[in-house]
A and B are shown apart, each in its own frame.
Chain A
């Protein structure tokens, strides 16, 4: 297909990788791939083994399941236990371990939990089950948030009174700023998420690049997209130019998707939000705007949970901050594996630990 194979061409891939190696010539550079999908692409396409070891590719917190705090997971489980309740969620959330249980465990005990591909599926469920509450777990970054906004708009249009949301959307640029201001990951450049950028455009990265002197390159997900972006970042770093580049113009428009932005601005408002491993990041999350607050189940019918605890053996937080890698974790490939995960980084298809486990060399 025209839009895929050219960007996977093995010869161009090899040449780019060689040029990158030569330009680096052993210098240590650290680049952060913000997005979990980039982490997986880099592994899966074998780029990790093509690139020199002096180039450190740090996985960032761009896995929405991974950055959901334990308290939020326990809260969802508490709602799942309620009678006459249907929980709808993206698939990855099912296996994430809460303090005592997981959605999958609750499902096996009889809770009505449905995996959805699109949040709109929650609408039909609400219509078909008027005596039940349908609660959609609205996890995701800027790529996914518009789909949750559209679902709320449709619920409003239909006058549905049994559809609810647990708002859990998060914003990428504030997290990038937070990581840079913490300073401990030593980031020289950012590989910016392609599809988040399709929604938000490139302007949000300009502020970050200027304030911290770090170049940002928006990249697609094919091997050549990623290598070209790495190459461009290295050139910008070498020339001391903390600029923003869009290397995914076939999908990303400079201004982003204004229709999606407009809908999100109508349905949601910005809030301070807790990220697993990073703590509360100001202005990094979303809650429903006043007109749509009635859809927030946690406001309408708050639920009590026992104090949340993360598994003490899990270093997911350090991995999300970019200061540790999965092999640094004593539990990695021992007590923690995709079949028996201790934390969300091993569960999610975009989780760093899952990627290392599946694709990394032993």
Chain B
């Protein structure tokens, strides 16, 4: 049951954050995050943020995938 979507934090108050995706806004529980803040992207599942989306890691991952593609090419 991995179904979860990335949403952007608009505001945080205690354990609750207002998040949005494509104009849809809702309140979710952020107790599982360390210092969530406005502007951060989070993965939302069953009304909770289960992790933050790391933009830098996203960028590095795309490069990693290019490396894998090159490696596959070399190996066949």
Contact = CB atoms under 8 A, between A and B. Distances in A.
Given A198-B50, A350-B3, A118 B29 contact: yes
Interface in B1-44: 1-4, 6, 28-29, 31-34, 41, 43
A125 interface: no
A118 B51 CA distance: 16
Contact of B6 (A4, A15, A16, A20): A4
B53 A196 contact: no
Contacts of A141: 1-2
A144 B31 contact: no
Interface string A273-309: 0000000000000000000000000000000000000
Contacts of A221: 2
A2 B55 CA distance: 8
Contacts of B72: 16, 19-20, 22-23, 231, 234-235
Contacts of A195: 2-4, 43, 45, 50
Q: Is the interface of B mostly helix, strand, loop or mixed?
A: mixed
Contacts of B51: 198, 251-253, 257
A140 B54 contact: no
A259 B47 contact: no
A260 B57 contact: no
Given A198-B43, A250-B57, A146 B65 contact: no
Interface in A139-179: 139-141, 143-144, 146-147, 150
Interface string A244-283: 0001111111000101100100000000000000000000
Contacts of B53: 3, 250-251
Nearest to A22: B76
Nearest to B8: A1
A193 B2 contact: yes
B76 A259 contact: no
Contacts of B76: 19, 22-23, 25
A194 B43 CA distance: 11
A228 interface: yes
Contacts of A249: 54, 57, 60-61
Contacts of B33: 259
Given A1-B6, A147-B48, A260-B50, A224 B65 contact: yes
A360 to B, nearest CB: 20
A252 to B, nearest CB: 7
Contacts of A114: none
B2 A259 contact: no
A119 interface: yes
Contacts of B71: 231, 235
A259 B54 CA distance: 18
B1, B4, B6, B33 — most chain A CB neighbours (10 Å): B1
Interface in A183-201: 193-196, 198-199
Contact of A140 (B1, B31, B60): B1
B70 to A, nearest CB: 9
Contact of A118 (B47, B62, B75): B47
B75 A143 contact: no
B3 A247 contact: no
Contact of B46 (A25, A117, A248): A117
Given A140-B1, A251-B43, 20 more contacts: A6-B58, A12-B69, A15-B69, A23-B72, A36-B2, A63-B1, A117-B46, A118-B47, A143-B1, A144-B46, A150-B29, A194-B2, A199-B50, A228-B68, A232-B68, A247-B65, A251-B53, A251-B54, A253-B51, A259-B31
Interface of A: 1-4, 6-7, 12, 15-16, 19-20, 22-23, 25, 35-38, 62-64, 90, 117-121, 139-141, 143-144, 146-147, 150, 193-196, 198-199, 221, 224, 228, 231-232, 234-235, 238, 247-253, 257, 259-260, 263, 349-350
Q: Which 9 A-B pairs have the closest CB atoms?
A: A118-B47, A19-B72, A37-B2, A195-B2, A250-B58, A22-B76, A250-B57, A23-B76, A228-B65
